Amino acid sequence: MFQDLKVFYRNFCTGFKWKIVCLLLISFFAGIFELIGIAAIIPLIGILADPSSVKFVFMRKFSEAINCNNTFFMFTISLFFVLGIFLMKNVYMVFHQYIIYRFSCLLKNKICLSFMQRLFNSHYDFFLRKNSDSLINTIDNTTRYVIYPYLAYLEQAFTYLLITLLLGGFIICNFFLPTILVCSLFIFIYYLQHKLIKNKITDINCHIVQMNTNNVSILQRSILAIKEIKIWQAEPFILKNFSLVSSKLNQLEQYDIFLQYFPSFVVEATIMISLCVFCLFMAYTQGINTKLIENLSIVTVVFFRLAPALNRFWTAIGVVKAHKGSLKSLNNEYEELSCFQKTFISSTVDDDKKASTFNQAIRLKNVSFKYSPDQEFGLHNINLEIIKGKFVGIVGASGSGKTTLIEIILGLLNADEGQYFMDGNPVKQWELERLYPLWGYVTQFPYLASDTIAHNIAFAESEIDYKRVAEVMDICLLKDFDPQQTLLEFGKTISGGQKQRIALARALYRNPKLLILDEATSSLDIVTEKEISTIIDNLRGTMTIIAIAHRLSTLKTCDKIIYMDQGKIIDTGPLPYLRANYSKFAEMIQLSNIN
C-alpha cells in the first residue's frame, strides 16, 4: 500500500506538498482538541464525586478570587466551561472536515486534469491500443473511488488513530496495568477479525474495478449502437447482460460495504468487553469506594469517546483496504500513459522555419510502418510525392493501407523506417504538429457535438468568426441551415450528406492549405456524393487535396491517383493510365460506373 501511495504522490501530489503538510497539522490539532474535550470533563466528574473540593487549578483560583465556595455555583461554572470547550472543539472539527473535502475536491480535479493532459499529449497509436470504456472508467469512476473513499478515509484514519493514541496515552499514564491488560485483549480480537477479512476485501475490490469497466462498456454500446440494437431486436440480450453485470456489481458492493463496516461492530463489542474487564480489575484491586467511582467515571467517559474514534479508524482502514485496488489501477493507467508521451525537442530558428509552412511538396522516402512489433508491416517501402495545389486520390481494397498512409502524412503515426520530407527538408513527427492549423481533415464518420452548427464548424474555438462560418456554409451548400440551430449528438436528426457537409465546412473554416478526405463520400448516396464531389472540384487549385475513396467517381478529376494493395503502392498516375495497365483497377472503375 505504501508503495502505491508513494507512486501516487509522485504522479499527482508534488504540487500539493505544503497543502498536505498543512492538512496533517490540522489533523494533529483535531486530535489535540479531542483530548482537551475529554480532559475538560475530568474536573466536572471530580466535583460531582467530591463536592467539597475543586479539582481543577483554574477553577480553584477562580473560586478563591471571587471568594465563593458555593458548590452549586462552582459546578455551574465548571459545566459552562466544559460546554465552551466542547463547542470550540466541534467548531474546529467542522473546519477540519471542510478542509479535508476541499482538499479532496482539488486533488480530484488535479488528477482528472493530469489524465486529460497526458491523454492529449499521448501518441495517436495509444488510442489504437486502448478501449474508450477503460479510459472513461479510469477518469470518472476510478478517480472518484481513489479520492473520496480512499484518500479521504486515509486522512480520517490518521486523525482518529492520533485521537486513539492520545486518549490511550492518557489512560495508560493514569491506569497503567489495567490499560495494558485491556489493550492486549483488544489487539488479540482485532488480529483475529483482520486475518479473516483482509484477503476478501482485496479480491472484492479488484472485481468491482473490472465490473465497473464492463458496466461502462455496456452503457456505451447501448447508446452508440442504439440503431443496430433496435433493428436486430437485441434489447433483451443487452438488458440481460446489463442486469447480470449490475446485479453482480451490486452484490460485490453490498459485500464490500458490509466488510468495511463489520470491524466497527467488532471494535464496539471489544470496547464494551474491555470496559467491563477494566472495571472488574479496578474493583478487585482497589475495592469499591468513592475514589474508584471517580476513576471509573473518568475511564467510562474516555472509553465511550474512544469507541467512536476507534470505530471510525477501523472503518476508515477497511475502506482504504477495500479501495487500494483502485489506487493501483489509477497508478498503472497513468504509468502506461507515460510510455506514449510525445517528446518535445527544443528547436532552432531554422528548425521552426523547416516545418511551419507547406510551400512546395510532401515526400515520403522508403517509409514502412507496423502497428506492433509482432505484426507484419501495415505499410512497406512507401515512396511518393504530393505537390502543393494538386488533387491526389488514394485507392485500393479494404486493408490496403490507405488510412494508415494518411495518418503517416498527418503525423499521427510515426514511421518505423524511412524519411518524411516537407519542402525538401527532413522532418520529425513532432515538427509536423506545427502544420496542423494549416490542414483540414474530414473522416468517414465525423463527430458532431450536441451544440449549434456554428460551434460544430468552429470546433474548439471560444471566439467564433460568424462571417467565416457563413462563408464555409455557403461553399458547402448549407444555406438552408441556421448557424444557431442546435444539433443532437452525432447529428442524429440530419442526413449523412448533411453531416459530411458540416464536417467539410469545419475543415474549411480555418482556411487550410491541405485538405484530406478520408472516405468522406463512401457512405453517401449517388446524388449526395455528386454534391460533395462538386464542392471538392470547386476547391481545386485553391489548396492541396488528398482524397481516399472506394467509389472512384469522386476521384475521376484527380491530377493523379495512388493505387495501393497490401500496404504497398502499386503505381501512381492519372485514371486512364491505371485503368489501362491494371485489371483490378479497371474492375473497380467498372463497379463505380464511371464513363
Instruction: Give tens-digit pLDDT for 442-488.
Output: 887 888 888 888 988 888 777 888 899 999 898 888 888 888 888 88
Q: Which fold has domain 349-592?
A: Rossmann fold (3.40.50)
Q: Where are the domains of the chain?
A: 2-338, 349-592
* Rounded Cα gap, residues 261 and 372, in angstroms: 47
Rounded CA-CA distance 572/83 in Å is 91
Cα atoms in the 13 Å half-sphere on the side-chain side of 513: 15
- Say what the pLDDT of residue 403 is: 86
d(CA 307, CA 28): 19
The rounded distance, in Å, linking the Cα atoms of 7 and 307 is 34
Rounded-to-10 torsion of CA 290, 293, 295, 297: -140
Residue pointed to by grid coordinates 524519411: 419
Q: Whole-angstrom distance between the N-terminal and C-terminal Cα of the chain?
A: 71
In angstroms, the CA 172 to CA 180 distance is 7
Residues 104/152, Cβ–Cβ less than 8 Å = yes
> Is the alpha carbon torsion for 232, 234, 236, 237 positive or negative?
positive
Are 272 and 327 spatial neighbours (Cβ–Cβ below 8 Å)?
no
* Measured distance CA(367)–CA(411) in Å, rounded: 13
Q: Which grid cell sits at 578?
A: 491505371
541 SS3 class:
coil
Going edge to edge, which strands form the sheet with 439-442? Answer: 439-442, 514-518, 544-548, 391-396, 560-565, 568-573
Question: Which grid cell is 359?
Answer: 510551400
**Domain 2-338, CATH:** 1.20.1560.10
What pLDDT score was predicted for residue 189?
67
Kindly provide the residue ranges of all beta strands, DSSP E only, lying in 298-445, ordered along the sequence: 361-369, 379-387, 391-396, 417-422, 425-426, 439-442
pLDDT by 10s per residue, the chain, length 595: 667 777 777 777 777 778 878 878 887 887 777 777 766 666 666 666 565 555 555 555 666 666 666 666 666 777 777 778 778 888 888 888 788 778 877 888 888 888 887 887 777 777 777 777 777 777 777 777 677 666 666 777 777 777 777 777 777 777 777 677 667 766 776 666 666 666 676 677 677 777 777 777 777 667 666 655 665 666 777 778 777 877 787 777 777 767 666 666 666 677 677 767 777 777 777 776 666 666 666 666 676 666 666 666 766 666 666 667 777 777 888 877 777 776 544 444 444 444 467 888 889 999 998 887 777 888 889 999 999 889 898 988 888 888 889 888 888 888 888 888 888 888 876 677 777 778 888 887 888 888 888 988 888 777 888 899 999 898 888 888 888 888 887 777 788 788 888 888 988 888 888 898 887 666 566 777 777 778 888 888 888 999 887 767 677 778 888 988 888 989 988 888 888 888 888 877 776 655 5
Residue 436 cell numbers, joined: 496542423
Reported as a single tens digit per residue, the pLDDT across 230-280 is 656 667 777 787 778 777 877 777 777 676 666 666 666 776 777 677 777
Task: Report the number of secondary-structure helices (H) and strands (E) in the chain.
Answer: 22, 10
CA nearest 386: which of 401, 408, 369? Answer: 408
Give the 3-state secondary structure percentages of the chain, helix then strand then coil, rounded to 5: 70, 10, 20
- R_g over Cα of the chain: 36
Residue 93 burial by Cβ neighbours in a 10 Å radius (0-12, 13-18, 19+)? middle
DSSP, res 451: S
Longest dimension (CA), the chain: 122
pLDDT digits (tens, 9 = 90+) for 402-446: 888 988 888 888 888 888 888 888 887 667 777 777 888 888 788
Cα–Cα distance, 472 to 541 (Å, whole number): 17
Neighbours of 348 (CB within 10 A): 8
Q: Is there a contact between 532 and 562 (Cβ–Cβ < 8 Å)?
A: no
